[in-house]
Amino acid sequence: MPIVRFRLNGVELEIDADPDRSLLSILRGQLGLTGPHFGCGAGECGACNVIVGDRAVSACDMPLWSVADKDVMTIEGLGTSERPHPLQRAFIAEQALQCGYCVSGILMSAAALLKRNPSPTSREVKEALDRNLCRCGSHNRMLRAVLRAAEEMAAG
């Protein structure tokens, strides 16, 4: 099988797998990363969102070959409890979830947004998260959390 090379959370990787397989299947399967969640397998819910380059994309319908030589970041690369990303701090501060299954994808969409637009309006946050589904109805808390993180980042 052809080798696909890409950077995952800053680390160079070589993957020996069918390049038509989904990125999510590789991440959760042979790479053992359980942060990106399977939700629909059709790019319709955002639970598996990761950042490729500077955009949040669904890993479930993205073929492995399409990330060749690119930077891929998963929730595992966003932050840890010791070194949390401001978004993670803000989601805890706002208690911005109920079940939390959608949260890793939502954090990645929000992180991509804040990278290209560090001070988004409420409307811009909603637009950026519009392809992420949340079934528990925690949207408003998540919205507040993203705005809070943006403020915190702006304050340095």
User: Which residues of the chain form contacts with another protein (CB under 8 A)?
Assistant: 21, 25, 28-29, 32, 34-35, 37-42, 44-45, 47, 75-76, 79-81, 84, 88, 91-92, 95, 97-104, 107, 125-127, 129-141, 143
What distance in Å separates the CA atoms of residue 74 and residue 34, rounded to the nearest whole number? Answer: 10
Judged by beta carbon, residue 51 or residue 138, the one nearer another protein is 138
The CB-of-55 to another protein minimum distance in angstroms stands at 17
Residue nearer to another protein on the CB measure, 71 or 76: 76
Minimum distance from CB of 114 to another protein (Å)? 16
All residues at 6 or more sequence positions from 58 whose CB lies less than 8 Å from its CB, including other chains: 24, 43, 44, 46, 48, 49
Q: CB 19 → another protein: shortest distance, Å?
A: 13
Q: In terms of CB distance, is 69 or 108 closer to another protein? A: 108
**Shortest spacing between CB 14 and another protein, in angstroms:** 18
> Residue 52 or residue 103: which is nearer to another protein going by CB?
103
Q: Which is nearer to another protein, 76 or 152 (CB)?
A: 76
Q: How far is the CB of 118 from another protein (least distance, A)?
A: 19
3-state secondary structure of 88: helix
Per-residue HEC secondary structure of 37-53 comes to: CCCCCCCCCCCCEEEEC
Distance of alpha carbon 75 from the chain centroid: 6
- What angle is formed at CA 73 by the lines to CA 71 and CA 77, rounded to 5 degrees? 130
Q: Is the dihedral of CA 137, 56, 107, 111 positive or negative?
A: negative
